[in-house]
Structure 1
Amino acid sequence: MLRVLLVDDQPLIRSGFAMMLSVEEDLAVVGEAANGREAVELAAAHRPDVIVMDVQMPVMDGIAATREIVERGLGHVLILTTFDRDDYLFDALQAGASGFLLKNADAEQLVDALRAVGHGHALLAPEVTKRVIAQMSAAPQGAEEGGRHAELLSYLTGRELDVLRLIGAGRSNAEIAGELVIGAATVKTHVSSIFAKLQVRDRVGAVIIAHEASIV
């Protein structure tokens, strides 16, 4: 059972999300907060597996709350916002958010995102994946870092490199399974192995290495 904390300054949005999640057997809403400060306090009290976090809120915004929650190890954060803005996206990732989703996502996407983030994975809305890739790829890379990436990539099997290329291209696990004609469980196993070998905690870290090493 994944414990979920809902954070949004609009009560109707919180109640709507809570009602939607109430039918999921593996998800339980343990609290609701109307601003970032309340979110930090409730996260400390309930220790949820995943916090669904809005960005624009009074008292403390979602980015500041995310940073404090991640620094204190109080749970994984999924940013859920109406605003498709680069500054929100990159500030959220720098603050330690594990996921970024827009509020125009359908119910199935939100539930899948909660499960992914709650289990320690990363997830980005398809609309923003390419922008993250472009931003990270534009960053300068030193010789020492490039050598380290090459060493880590040498630990991957041929099939893991195939999976990494598709991760770097923004493909979901289901899309990777379809393109490589392998089972979903096999993809998950490869992804977990890739994260371990590359010493990254999530998909964002793998995407960065894939692009910096120019294997995509």
Structure 2
Amino acid sequence: MSIHVLLVNSHQIVLWGLEKLINNESPRMEVVGKATNGLDATRLAREKKPHVVLLDLYLGMEKGIDLIPNLLEEERSHIIIFTEIHDQAAVDGAVLNGARGVIYKEESTQNILKAIEKIHAGELWLDRGTTGRIFSNFLRTGQKPEDCITKKIASLTRKERLIINAFATEAGASNKKLAKKLYIGEQTLRNHLTSIFSKLEITNRFDLFMFAKLHHHHFIATASQSTTHTNNLQ
């Protein structure tokens, strides 16, 4: 299946260049829409249901980060920030709000194409600096007293612990991939994630990934005991 890409950038020359680059890879991937502003980007995302959105950090007076919640309404869409501005705070904010990758405009065309493929496959595309800053920030602001963490983990069901363990071992995996790994349906997984977010008092998948990594030792035993019993999750 071809990877459908939506381009969101305020510069027509950039849109033209990206469209040429991506469409040259047809049928592997193709551009299904182009937008220069938030209103058109949101409309096209709903109409075209792209697999990947290449989104600039700034669209004239608009901020790309403000568009992320609307663009993610289509569950299968993944967002890559494509920018020339090395604004660490804006990049980190975009990732924490749901962007799965960051590409700078000075990178090679092969890197752009590779990032699109990796993000579509459910992986993350982040440089070490961005990953390190977000991890450090999470430790500063997200770390709770150990007794509070223990109580939250104790409130999780066995099924929920298995899902969190999967998040720790499958960085950036899509719902489809995680559901297949756990032998459950995607809707069942979404229901469990809603419950997990509520119990852990977190709001996004990246926070869950970080929690899973930081407290992975709490979930290893549950996962190992369930190696031959994951079919009972349904």
Please give the TM-score of this superposition, normalised by the length of structure 1: 0.68
Q: Which residue of 1 aligns with 2:70?
A: 68
Matched, 1:145 2:149: yes
Q: Deviations over 1:166-205 (max 9, x none)?
A: x7xxxx9xxxxxxxxxxxxxxx99xx67xx8x98986774
Q: Which runs of 5+ in 2 are unaligned?
A: 183-188, 198-203, 219-234
Q: Deviations over 1:14-73 (max 9, x none)?
A: 111111112324111011111222111111121111110001113632111112112454
Q: Which residue of 1 aligns with 2:37?
A: 35
Q: Which residue of 2 aligns with 1:44?
A: 46
Q: Deviations over 1:84-138 (max 9, x none)?
A: 2232123212332222222222222221211222233332233311111111122
Q: Which residue of 2 aligns with 1:122?
A: 124
The total of aligned residue pairs comes to: 188
Q: Which residue of 1 aligns with 2:137?
A: 135
Q: Write the distance in 1 (CA, Å) between the matches of 2:215 and 2:137.
A: 11
Q: Which residue of 1 aligns with 2:106?
A: 104
Q: Which residue of 2 aligns with 1:87?
A: 89
AA in 1 matched with 2:4 = R
Preserved contact between residue 149 and residue 209 of structure 1 (Cα < 8 Å): no
Q: Write the distance in 1 (CA, Å) between the matches of 2:217 and 2:50.
A: 37
Aligned CA RMSD, in angstroms, stands at 3.7
SS in 2 for 1:77: strand
Q: Which has the larger radius of gyration?
A: 2
AA in 1 matched with 2:35 = A
Please give the TM-score of this superposition, normalised by the length of structure 2: 0.64
